[in-house]
Structure 1
């Protein structure tokens, strides 16, 4: 089970959703346009359907919608995150480009071979059923589609700045981050990937974060 998951209790979920919304609009705000640009540059997928897994308040969906012609589906299991994302999307006038979806990632309401691109930043550490999620991602991913799933802060400089600012709050952010991205967590993720996808993925780790790239081959 993921460590210190606040999203399993409704009151804790509400607080976590509100806290996340506040921080993505302030200290974390610079990272989402950077990651969105990295996704666009790396994958070159700018039209079609994109699913943002564990989208929270919708910051990455909004960032990618602003620089592509993708239609995004901001998926989150949390009803509080869903409500916040719905408001945030409306506030920036992107209701016709981003559709909030309340759903467990392991049981999404999409048809087979639906998504050209599937993205996620930071939510994988809270997924309860990793094997179920990866199976569902592969089902929904279109042949020839790609994923950009993991966690990061955009650049080493942004990561350093954010960690320094969070350290001033003395709330254990760095310790929680290290635990969530530590060897046990990475092994849990890799074991689930190997179990469900075999060699159909690539995982990278660097000073900007870690990312999982799943590919679904086109039929011959």
Structure 2
């Protein structure tokens, strides 16, 4: 084990970066398990002072080596080492926010209880990172420099080749299918998450209350289909309440009907656009702004910098911007150029459609399904679980990428009338909140086609 860890010294920074990306936090209690522990924890400890670590294994010689290395680096106050069987961990339930087991395929198939023990000690909202590989983004040269020696050592230690079907069977045998995502980025990994407890949900008929709107908001709507309907529904509600509202896009939208927006201003010149908006807002509470020349029958959006300038001159109480497209599909993954979110945005609403849950990944339900595969590991035809949707919503490369760090983010679960049961909506909201994204404090669900609008607000307990 010591030889493998020494050999992999240059690999651990990449593994630590991959763990950090999916964990999404820089604090908490970390448990690293097994005879290959220490390398990832050491990298994390040098990066994040607010993490506390426990290393556990049942190889006494290796544990003595770890204690020496930890003391040599003056990390004894932050890293505890325990002798413990991995399939009978000596920790209470919900003790750790992050559990790491690298090199799991040497022994976990023969000791499947290890996986259920990991889940038991995982705190609500926590993540377990279990599997093997070199880590995402590692240069091929680093892999090539150790590949042959690593293979010899691994074979000597008895590494077992494991198929994806065997992994799925293992997860199912421990009752963790709904909590586990198998990804093949930087290796093969089981991402196991434990949902948080939710507070009693609140209900309201007002979108402004559901999203927790504050005065003078710039709202950017991103994600799946339903964004345009949501934008005009919110604009209608606010204008009827006496607020001045500008709706716009930084991508493309169809020209609104009269019942969606009473006034549309099309102008390419920035100064003339601002002047015309000022005039029209003197006559109408709600005005839609876009560029003069349409593209493919749609209104062409404003530059995000133009939205920022309109915000700065304080023409309206609220600006609502549709920031990307989804071809009316309920879910999507963004490419590198989207969403186009102005810096002045104070609230990002991330839309997903309930009709995607439990559907096979395909062009019919997903916009850019190949990018969803890259982000979540779900192959085409695979079933879209709530964990897949939670990743699309809360991952830094998901639909909220490029959201300003100062903005609040509220996911909106749309088309709840298509849910198989109300409990499915609640569980999806819980899966999203369990990611503990620092900018996501609530999830809203509802339907924009119901005769009587009713929205549910979910927050962590």
Distance 2:27 2:92 in 1: 18
CA separation of 1:48 and 1:174: change in aligned 2, threshold 3 A: closer
Query: 1:38 deviation in Å?
Result: 1.9
TM-score by length of 1: 0.77
1:192 corresponds to which residue?
A: 170
Seen in structure 2, the aligned counterparts of structure 1 residues 155 and 215 have a Cα distance that, compared at 3 Å, is closer
TM (normalized to structure 2)? 0.39
Match of 1:64? Answer: 44
49, 63, 73: which one pairs with 2:29? 49
Q: Could you say which residue in structure 1 is the equivalent of 2:190? A: 212
Q: Separation in 1 of the partners of 2:152 and 2:77? A: 39
Q: Could you list the per-position Cα deviations for residues 162-203 of structure 1 after superposition, in whole angstroms to 9, with x for gaps in the alignment?
A: 345443x597458779x73442xx444332211111321001
Which residue of structure 1 lines up, in the alignment, with residue 308 of structure 2?
A: none
Contact 1:130 1:189 in 2 (8 A): no
- Farther off after superposition, 38-47 or 72-81: 38-47
- Please say if residues 86 and 100 of structure 1, whose CA atoms lie closer than 8 Å, have aligned partners that are also in contact: yes
Q: CA RMSD in A?
A: 2.8
Residues 175 and 113 from structure 1, CA distance in 2 versus in 1: closer, same or farther, beyond 3 angstroms? closer
> How far did 1:158 drift?
4.3
User: Cα gap change, 1:113/1:154 in structure 2, threshold over 3 Å: closer, same or farther?
Assistant: same
Equivalent position to 2:87, from 83, 92, 106: 106
Runs of 4+ in 1 over 4 A off after TM superposition: 155-160, 163-166, 173-177
Structure 2 vs 1, CA of residues 173 and 78 (structure 1 numbering), >3 Å: closer, same or farther? Answer: closer
Rounded to whole Å, the distance in 2 between the matches of 1:218 and 1:89 is 33
Q: Deviations over 1:27-66 (max 9, x none)?
A: 3111111211221122122212110011536211111111
C-alpha separation in 2, matches of 1:174 and 1:101: 24
Question: How far apart, in 1, do the equivalents of 2:150 and 2:102 lie?
Answer: 24
Against the structure 1 CA distance between its residues 155 and 107, is the aligned structure 2 distance closer, same or farther, given a 3 Å change threshold? Answer: same
How far apart, in 2, do the equivalents of 1:170 and 1:32 lie? 14
Task: Compute the displacement of 1:88 (Å).
Answer: 1.0
Residues 1-220 of structure 1 aligned to structure 2 (within 5 Å): 17-20=1-4, 24-25=5-6, 27-56=7-36, 58-68=38-48, 69-127=50-108, 129-155=110-136, 158=139, 161-167=142-148, 172=152, 180-183=160-163, 186-196=164-174, 197-206=176-185, 208-220=186-198
Structure 1 residue runs of 5 or longer lacking an equivalent are: 1-16
Structure 2 unaligned spans of 5+: 199-461
**Which whole-Å deviations, capped at 9, do the CAs of 1:73-121 have from their partners, x for residues lacking one?**
1111211111111111111111111111111111111111111111122
Check the 8 A contact 1:119/1:147 in 2, yes or no.
Answer: yes
2:248 aligns with none
Structure 1 residue matching 2:77: 3-state secondary structure? coil
